[in-house]
Each structure stands twice: as structure tokens, then as C-alpha cells.
């Protein structure tokens, strides 16, 4: 398989537009094997921040960015709530045990901020959408292959290179271990028997599904809409492999998100090219027939008949709302907290005879719940407010690249209450929002004065390390 090339080196690498993103995405299989797949997101943010710092007197800030800056301020202020006991949670869970994970989540938010500003400030002529889209399409292929490896060889479970170099105590830490182990699948009992749920090259089956969905629109655009001949030939085989992983992942939210995305994509394509409607209907019929002929529909039916975690998710959500409303409605509790016992009994929890009796921590089971519990109603208001504001600016997009980026954000919004998106999905989402802004600005001349506010220019100093300012 041919791989999208790195930017042409006609000048020093440090000055090549987009090179940190190329290194991150095109090298991702290597970073995964080395145990650096998460750390690399942080590392590539450093040269991106340096790029912004060097251009601080002419930096462009899209309108509405001050909403995101306020959210970052709320995240910082919520750190002062780490030592506060929360209702229904284990007492004393705040400092110091929660400080590390709070710091990691803060770094993720800063990293997402940097990539948004970075892509906004690189003109299309220096780093085309098609090139970035091909890098993200490559990630879709990597995720698909990782999913198939998980299905075929689910017993692969070993320490990465970094995991072998870490001290034993640190490598065995549950939080650290999630990111330094090469564990390609989760083996769970959801349908009444052991099922293999793919997750490579990510730490969880749900994160595998979230990332796959975020990369999918870019794959469709790069390999099918404007792809080379060999890419269009291989694309159906890649999609079949992805569909296999999607079904066996048992991710109902992923299924629903993809269905909504398919409807959106078809509607937009018909608006652009009405003559394609009969062809798309025939294609949809072929896909449906193949799905039922393969027998995969029985897995979907069985999953829908076994809600599994619905009751637990509902109780966790209800208690999260109640705890935040009673004790810290504005700033939340800074981080996730372990549930005291179980919802059935304060003395409940996981036991050797009932490993499934444990309850996930408050602030998990969905990015929305993380923001609500950790940053309170203020966090929810400004986090969701920024994403929805930026999406609203592009509701009337009609061109292929914008449709692909908007579809990725539709997936993000649908998955927000169900998947933990803080990580690569948020990184990709902020990248898509930045590309969307840049696409619109390009139509009006770069930068688009109507899209840039002086208030937003001055607010950037709070968002990027080093204190960016508009001169």
C-alpha cells in the first residue's frame, strides 16, 4: 500500500508547513508499537506552539475563540476543587491521587487548542486540505487494520518498547498501563458468551470506534471522491474490513452515528449532483443485501436485544447530575471520582465472584459527563458552546471538503454523551473545525475579516504556552 508522502523538503524541516501533523499521523503505527502513540500528540504540539509564537504579531484567531478560552480558564479553576469531597464518591479521592490525571486532561485540552490555531494560521496554498485529508485517511486505514488484527489475533497482549523501559511499578500502574501496552482487543461477555471487540491501535473498543468514525469522512473524500485509480480500487475492500470491525465492536453509538452521517452525506451529495441519486440508491441496496447475506445482522440484532450497560449508565448519569447540582454546580470537581460502593449498596463493588458489579467512576462513560462532572455547568456551557458555534458558522457548506469535515463533527456531537472523546477524537475534531474555518476564509480571501474579531485576537494569550499576543 502506498503511503502519503511527507511534505517536500525544500527548506529546513522545522519550517515545513504541517510537518508535525505528518510525523504524528504517518508515523502512528510506529508510535503505537513503541508505546508513544499518546505522548506523540503532546510532543508535536511543541513545534506547533513554536510556529504560532514566531508569528504571534500576525496570528489569526477565528471568531468565537474567546468562548474556548473561557472554557480553558474554567478547567484551570476546577483544579482547585480536586480536594473537595463529592456526594456519592469515595472520600479523599481528590489530591494527590487525582492530580496526575487532571494534569493529563489539561494537557489534552491545551494540545487541542494548539492544533486548532496551528491549522488556522497555515494558508491553503502552503498546506492543502487534500494533503491533510490524506493523512487522516491513512489513519482510517491504520485503524481498520488494527481492528482486523484484534479480531484475528485477540490474544496479543504485551508491553510496548516504552513499557519495557519504564520501572516495574510505573509500568504496572493502571492509568499508565493503558497507554504502554499493546493490547489489540477486549474480550467481554455482552451477548451471553465471550465476544472479541477490536481496539488497536487505541486503548479501548469505544475509542477505536470514535476514532474510526472521525477519520472515515476524510477517507471517503481522499480515496473515493478525489482518489487515485488504485485508491478507488482498494477503497471498497478497506470499507468491508472497517465494516467487519464496526459490527464486531458492538458499539451501538458508532452504528447510530454512522447511520446519521450516511444520511447527511447522501443528502449533501444529491444536492451537489442530483444525477447520482439512482446510483447511490443502488449502492445502498447492495450494501444492505450484502449485510444480511453475510449474517452480520444477527450480531447487530443480538446486541440491540442486550442493552448490557444502559441501566448502569443511566444511574451514573443521574447521580452525576445530582452531585454537581448539590455540591459544585459551577466548577464541578476538577476530575473523575470513584463511586462509593455500588448503586445497590454502599458496601457493593467488584468482587472475585462478581467482577461486573463495580461501577465506573463519575465523569466517565462520555465526554459530556466528564466535562459536567469535572468542570460543572460552566464547563458544559463553554465547551459545547464553542463547538456548536463553530459548526453553526458552516451549516450552509456545500463543497466536498467542507461536507467531509462537517460530517466528522456530526459524529463528534452524536458520540459526545457516550464516548470519552478527550484524546485523538478531540484533536481530530479541533483540526476539522480549524480546516472548516480556513475553507470558508479562503472563499472570502485569507484571512476572512468577517471571521476575525479583535477581542478574539487578544484572548489567545490565555490559550497557548508562552502567552501569544496580537501585536
Encode pLDDT of 198-213 as tens digits: 999 999 999 999 999 9
Q: What pLDDT was estimated at residue 167?
A: 75
Domain boundaries, position 426: 13-56+64-462
**Residue 33 forms part of a structural domain:** yes
Nearest of 74, 14, 80 to residue 47 by alpha carbon = 14
Q: What pLDDT was estimated at residue 14?
A: 62
Nearest of 369, 302, 326, 371 to residue 75 by alpha carbon = 371
**Residue 6 forms part of a structural domain:** no
Q: What pLDDT was estimated at residue 457?
A: 47
Nearest of 58, 97, 106 to residue 78 by alpha carbon = 106
Residue ranges of the chain whose pLDDT lies below 50: 9, 344-356, 449-450, 454-471
**Residue 233 forms part of a structural domain:** yes
Q: What pLDDT was estimated at residue 464?
A: 43
104, burial (CB in 10 Å: exposed 0-12, middle 13-18, buried 19+): middle
**Residue 179 forms part of a structural domain:** yes
What's the distance, CA 182 to chain centroid? 20
Alpha helices by DSSP H, listed for 82-167, are: 99-120, 129-152, 161-165
Q: What pLDDT was estimated at residue 181?
A: 84
**Residue 468 forms part of a structural domain:** no
In the chain, the number of structural domains is 1
Instruction: Give the integer Cα–Cα distance in Å for 471 and 469.
Output: 6
Q: What pLDDT was estimated at residue 345?
A: 43
Q: What pLDDT was estimated at residue 357?
A: 53
**Residue 155 forms part of a structural domain:** yes
Q: What pLDDT was estimated at residue 355?
A: 45
Q: What pLDDT was estimated at residue 460?
A: 47
**Residue 4 forms part of a structural domain:** no
Nearest of 317, 354, 359, 320 to residue 340 by alpha carbon = 359
Helix axes 252-272, 296-304, angle to 10 degrees: 120
Q: What pLDDT was estimated at residue 185?
A: 93
Q: What pLDDT was estimated at residue 256?
A: 92
Whole-model pTM: value is: 0.88
For 3-46, write each residue's pLDDT tens digit: 565 555 456 656 688 999 999 999 999 999 999 999 999 999 99
Nearest of 384, 386, 432, 385 to residue 408 by alpha carbon = 432
Alpha helices by DSSP H, listed for 273-340, are: 277-294, 296-304, 310-327
Q: What pLDDT was estimated at residue 200?
A: 94
**Residue 102 forms part of a structural domain:** yes
Amino acid at each position: 500500500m502506498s503511503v502519503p508522502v511527507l511534505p517536500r523538503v525544500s527548506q529546513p524541516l522545522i519550517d515545513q508547513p504541517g510537518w508535525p501533523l505528518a510525523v504524528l499521523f504517518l508515523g502512528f503505527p510506529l508510535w503505537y508499537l513503541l508505546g508513544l502513540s499518546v505522548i506523540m500528540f503532546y510532543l508535536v504540539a511543541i513545534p506547533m506552539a513554536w510556529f504560532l509564537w514566531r508569528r504571534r504579531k500576525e496570528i489569526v484567531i477565528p471568531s468565537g475563540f474567546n468562548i474556548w478560552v473561557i472554557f480553558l480558564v474554567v478547567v484551570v479553576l476546577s483544579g482547585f476543587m480536586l480536594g473537595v469531597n463529592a456526594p456519592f464518591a469515595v472520600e479523599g479521592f481528590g489530591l494527590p491521587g487525582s492530580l496526575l490525571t487532571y494534569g493529563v486532561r489539561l494537557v489534552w485540552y491545551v494540545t487541542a487548542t494548539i492544533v486548532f490555531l496551528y491549522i488556522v494560521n497555515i494558508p491553503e496554498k502552503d498546506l492543502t486540505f487534500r494533503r491533510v485529508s490524506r493523512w487522516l485517511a491513512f489513519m482510517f486505514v491504520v485503524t481498520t487494520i488494527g481492528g482486523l488484527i484484534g479480531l484475528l489475533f485477540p490474544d496479543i497482549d504485551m508491553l510496548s518498547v516504552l513499557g519495557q523501559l519504564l520501572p516495574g511499578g510505573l509500568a504496572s500502574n493502571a492509568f499508565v498501563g493503558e497507554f504502554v501496552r499493546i493490547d489489540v482487543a477486549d474480550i467481554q461477555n455482552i451477548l451471553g458468551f465471550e465476544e472479541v471487540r477490536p481496539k488497536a491501535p487505541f486503548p479501548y473498543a469505544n475509542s477505536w470506534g470514535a476514532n474510526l468514525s472521525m477519520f472515515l469522512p476524510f477517507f471517503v473524500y481522499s480515496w473515493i471522491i478525489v482518489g487515485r485509480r488504485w485508491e478507488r480500487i482498494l477503497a471498497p475492500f478497506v470499507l468491508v474490513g472497517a465494516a467487519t470491525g464496526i459490527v464486531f465492536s458492538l458499539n451501538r453509538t458508532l452504528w447510530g452515528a454512522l447511520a446519521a452521517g450516511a444520511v447527511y452525506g447522501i443528502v449533501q451529495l444529491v444536492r451537489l449532483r442530483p444525477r447520482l441519486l439512482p446510483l447511490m440508491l443502488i449502492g445502498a441496496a447492495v450494501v444492505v443485501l450484502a449485510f444480511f447475506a453475510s449474517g452480520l445482522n444477527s450480531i447487530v440484532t443480538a446486541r440491540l436485544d442486550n442493552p448490557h450497560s444502559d441501566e448502569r449508565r443511566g444511574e451514573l448519569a443521574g447521580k452525576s447530575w445530582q452531585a454537581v447540582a448539590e455540591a459544585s454546580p459551577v466548577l464541578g470537581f476538577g476530575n473523575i471520582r470513584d463511586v462509593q460502593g455500588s448503586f445497590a449498596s454502599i458496601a457493593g463493588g467488584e468482587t472475585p465472584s462478581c467482577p461486573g458489579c463495580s461501577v465506573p467512576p463519575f465523569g466517565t462513560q462520555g465526554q459530556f459527563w466528564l466535562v459536567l462532572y469535572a468542570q460543572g455547568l460552566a464547563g458544559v456551557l463553554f465547551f459545547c458552546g464553542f463547538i456548536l458555534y463553530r459548526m453553526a458558522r458552516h451549516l450552509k457548506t456545500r463543497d466536498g471538503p467542507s461536507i467531509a469535515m462537517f460530517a466528522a463533527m456530526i459524529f463528534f456531537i452524536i458520540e459526545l454523551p457516550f464516548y470519552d472523546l478527550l484524546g485523538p477524537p478531540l484533536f481530530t475534531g479541533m483540526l476539522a473545525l480549524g480546516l472548516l474555518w480556513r475553507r470558508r476564509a479562503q472563499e472570502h480571501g485569507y484571512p476572512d475579516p468577517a471571521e476575525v474579531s479583535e477581542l478574539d485576537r487578544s484572548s489567545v494569550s490565555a490559550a497557548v504556552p508562552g502567552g501569544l499576543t496580537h501585536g
